[in-house]
Amino acid sequence: MFKETISHAGDRPVVLMDSVSSVTAQDAGSIVVSASHGGTSSGEFATRHRLGGCFFNDAGVGKDDAGIAALGMLDEMQVAGATLSHFSACIGDARDHWAHGVVSHVNRTAAAAGLAPGQSVRDAVRHLA
């Protein structure tokens, strides 16, 4: 399972990971670009440690917005969260998310930080810096 700190956005590390289940205490404060779906099980991993922000794949959103449910979970912690369109990046491939991901949904915390649908993931990360 791929996981790598690739850069820094301001003073926050940017960590790519194929699965958000790879989040550890060392990732607290980091901006995580995960290639996991944005459902509740992913939200449970993403909320274990206070991240600087977290990105997921929207997985087509699905019934009752199941593919983006983690965004609300992060909002409860006032952590910026966004999903990337499943048309722009492959689920399970963090490198593809970083290279090609386009934001499809944001939570209230992310919107307040300047994130919006249509941004590249790289531009969105810069807003979180």
- pLDDT, tens digit, 9 for 90 and up, residues 83-109: 999 999 999 999 999 999 999 999 999
For residue 113, is pLDDT > 90?
A: yes
Residues whose CB is less than 8 angstroms from the CB of residue 115 and which lie 6 or more positions away in sequence, other chains included: 80, 82, 103, 106, 124, 127, 128
Q: Give long-range contacts, CB 8 A cutoff, 24+ apart: 46-49.
A: 46/20, 46/70, 46/73, 46/74, 46/79, 46/81, 47/73, 47/74, 47/76, 47/77, 47/79, 48/23, 49/23, 49/24, 49/25
The reported pLDDT for the residue numbered 40 is 97
pTM: 0.95
- Across residues 100-126, what is the average pLDDT? 97
The reported pLDDT for the residue numbered 7 is 80
The reported pLDDT for the residue numbered 129 is 79
Give the span between the Cα atoms of 95 and 114, in whole angstroms.
Answer: 23
pLDDT in tens, 28-54: 999 999 999 999 999 999 999 999 999
- Across residues 10-17, what is the average pLDDT? 91
Mean pLDDT of the chain: 96
